[in-house]
Amino acid sequence: MIRTLGLIAMISGLLVVMVVKYTDPIIKEKERLALEQAVFQVIPSVDAKTATRVSFALNKDGLKRLDEHEGAGEANMYAVYDDAGKLLGIALQAAAQGYQDVVRTLFGYNPDCQCIVGMTIMKSTDTPGMGDKHTLENNKAFMANFTALSAALATDQSKLAHPIEAVTHGTKTDPWQVDAISGATISSRAIAKGLNTSAQKMLPLVTHHLPVLLHNSHQANER
């Protein structure tokens, strides 16, 4: 009995390992391309052919440049450089509870204007036709919120000067406000809330490490 079970376990182990070994590089490459596409999408003025993306792990302990193949899992920040090694922008992840489940987004931050310059939805299971990825991203007026959304830091550089917030449709007055879609207020609010949480936590760190990030561009160029 034990021998039979061992045989079955061996057969199944062999099959699984073979398939995993074969598909793993393909999967990694596809994931990498999908991520790269999303990152380039949120940073305008990027030329996808010449730009370089570098992954970083950024937290309170410091900034760590990650190898493209080994540390892809722990990356939480992506910097994009053009072919001359100039920093074009930084892409960060955000998440907040939406209508049905968590809405995950990726947004682009430009340190020159201290603002959010692009946003794309990675995952949303909110009501199709109202709060899903397709509908939200095709709403030009809503997406226009994220072309120059102010994310300037307060003077002590520990938090945002003004928290990013969603306001009722048609009442946007300040550059740090998001004009919500009427009928998908909760989804809009979730996106704004996710951006705010992530920006409050990450942007002070990004600003702190900005000289290094600019410096890294030379390495990116040399490669």
Q: 45: alpha, beta or left, given left = phi > 0 and alpha = psi -120 to 50? A: left
Q: Is 69 in the site for other proteins (CB under 8 A)?
A: no
Closest approach of other proteins to the CB of residue 82, in Å: 27
Distance, in Å, from the CA atom of 73 to the CA atom of 48, rounded to the nearest integer, reads: 23
Closest approach of other proteins to the CB of residue 77, in Å: 18
Count residues binding other proteins (CB under 8 A): 38
Please provide residue 115's backbone torsions phi and psi, each rounded to the nearest 5 degrees. Answer: -145, 165
Angle value at C-alpha 171, between 104 and 148, nearest 5 degrees: 50
Q: Is 34 in the site for other proteins (CB under 8 A)?
A: yes
Q: Is 189 in the site for other proteins (CB under 8 A)?
A: yes
Among residues 6, 15, 161, 215, which is the contact residue for other proteins, using CB under 8 A?
Answer: 15
Residues 117 and 43 sit within 8 Å (Cβ to Cβ): yes
Q: Is 37 in the site for other proteins (CB under 8 A)?
A: no
Closest approach of other proteins to the CB of residue 150, in Å: 24
Residues 115 and 150 sit within 8 Å (Cβ to Cβ): yes
- The residues of the shown chain that bind other proteins, judged by CB under 8 A, are 1, 4-5, 7-9, 11-13, 15-17, 19-20, 23-24, 26-27, 30-31, 34, 95-102, 123, 127-130, 186-187, 189-190
